[in-house]
Copies of this chain bind each other. A is one copy, B any other.
Amino acid sequence: MRIRDPIHGTIPVSDPEKAIIDSRHYQRLRHVRQLGFGDLAFPGATHTRHAHSLGAMHVASRLFGAVASQSNLPEDVQSRFCTAVRLAVLCHDLGHMPLSHASERIAPPRAALKLPAWLDATAEGPQATHEDFTAKVLLDSSLTPLIEQHFGPLGIHADAAVALITGAKPPKDPGFTHRGVDWMPLLRALVSGELDADRMDYLLRDSFYTGVNYGRYDFEWIISNLNPAVKDGRAYLALSRAAAFAFEDFLLSRYHMFVSVYYHHTSVNFDHMLRRYYEESPGEFEIPADPEAFLLCDDAALWYTLRRSKNRWADRISMRRGFKLLAQFTERDTGYDLDVLRSALVAAQLEHYVVESHGVLSKYMGEGQSPSLYIMDVSTGRLTEVAKYTPLYQRYSGAVRLTRVYVRPDQIDAARSLMSRLLGQAVQS
């Protein structure tokens, strides 16, 4: 089967993959938009995790193919590795909850999912994350026998896919060792790492659908400069030095997408209101722990619930009547003093809320982790960890922080004049 895609052209799909795509769990992603509330800010951004996952699977092939062509892996091994990576990437978002990460706040306890013990190391807290749900769907749902039926004969099982997605080590060897070299680190880096298929697809796709330019980077050049690097019996992903600038550009693309799209003040605003709704009307909408019940838990179901709710935040969300943005600033914007502003708003009895968006751009840079990407000097074979090679990495994989103050719509004029009294006067032009 071939699927048309506006980003990658034509995406070839194998018969086993088609069986997964036709499953109810995968089709659910048709009703989960990639950017949650993002289309409120960018009307064109209606794309779904369904299309993204197909695209990311396609990118994974391109990445693996480039690496494999520089290796001496025999063709049958290449084929098996590639199939495993494609499956993992295709399924990596199956556990995403409706509309926004805000929905993870009402996820059931992780314990309710009864995940196998070997996944305990991946727990991020008492609540189940979307990754936990992904693991559940792969390992213990109506999808599980389909995977076994179609991929088992190829030597690929659901736990291997989960291992690639989560980084956890399953009790049964996933079978990624060839001639004494363990290819797991490299394969894992393609599924989830500094330069993985997920990021490479979503930057292009989100950029395409929102209409902003930031997400474009030099895809072909990066692809054609990938190499395997074997060190101490393990294979890692390495990028030729010639593409180090392209990687920096990729890194900055991602940073700029965060500040301008993912943390857009409208998305952030509606995320906040959804959180308030969940806090004030607990139980009205729920994320079921059962993977088959989870099938109906999509954007449409949440919108349906919000539209019929009596909760004031639900009403604001459905009517698209959010609080209005009064001010936004970053560390670099001198002259803003949040405490002063907030006190003044309180004193003037102007209803408002403050949202701070901050996040660490790279979860791969923490202590004690093996690096998911090396820079390779191809003329000497020398490897350098990407974090040590590019000075931009440290800066742009670090934290982003944006502060926004929103005010009730009928009070926005009062708030604005209050703020301009606090902040000084406009320049004439």
Contact = CB atoms under 8 A, between A and B. Distances in A.
Given A4-B211, A213-B217, 20 more contacts: A3-B43, A4-B41, A4-B43, A5-B43, A10-B220, A10-B221, A33-B46, A216-B216, A230-B429, A245-B260, A248-B256, A249-B252, A249-B256, A252-B252, A296-B307, A332-B390, A335-B380, A376-B427, A381-B425, A381-B426
B224 A10 contact: yes
Nearest to A389: B332
Interface in A207-264: 208-214, 216-221, 224, 227-231, 235, 241, 245-246, 248-249, 252, 256, 259-260
Interface of A: 2-7, 9-10, 22, 24, 27, 30-31, 33, 39, 41-44, 46-48, 50-51, 54, 70-72, 208-214, 216-221, 224, 227-231, 235, 241, 245-246, 248-249, 252, 256, 259-260, 296, 300, 303-304, 307, 319-320, 327, 332-335, 376-377, 379-384, 389-391, 416, 419-420, 423-429
Contact of A380 (B209, B212, B241, B420): B420
Contacts of A248: 252, 256
A6 B209 contact: yes
Nearest to A299: B300
Given A10-B221, A427-B376, A47 B50 contact: no
A416 B380 CA distance: 10
Given A46-B51, A334-B384, A218 B227 contact: no
In the complex, the 7 A-B pairs of residues with the closest C-beta atoms, listed nearest first: A381-B426, A381-B427, A6-B211, A9-B220, A43-B51, A46-B46, A6-B44
Contacts of A48: 43, 46
Nearest to A47: B46
A424 to B, nearest CB: 5
Contacts of A220: 9-10
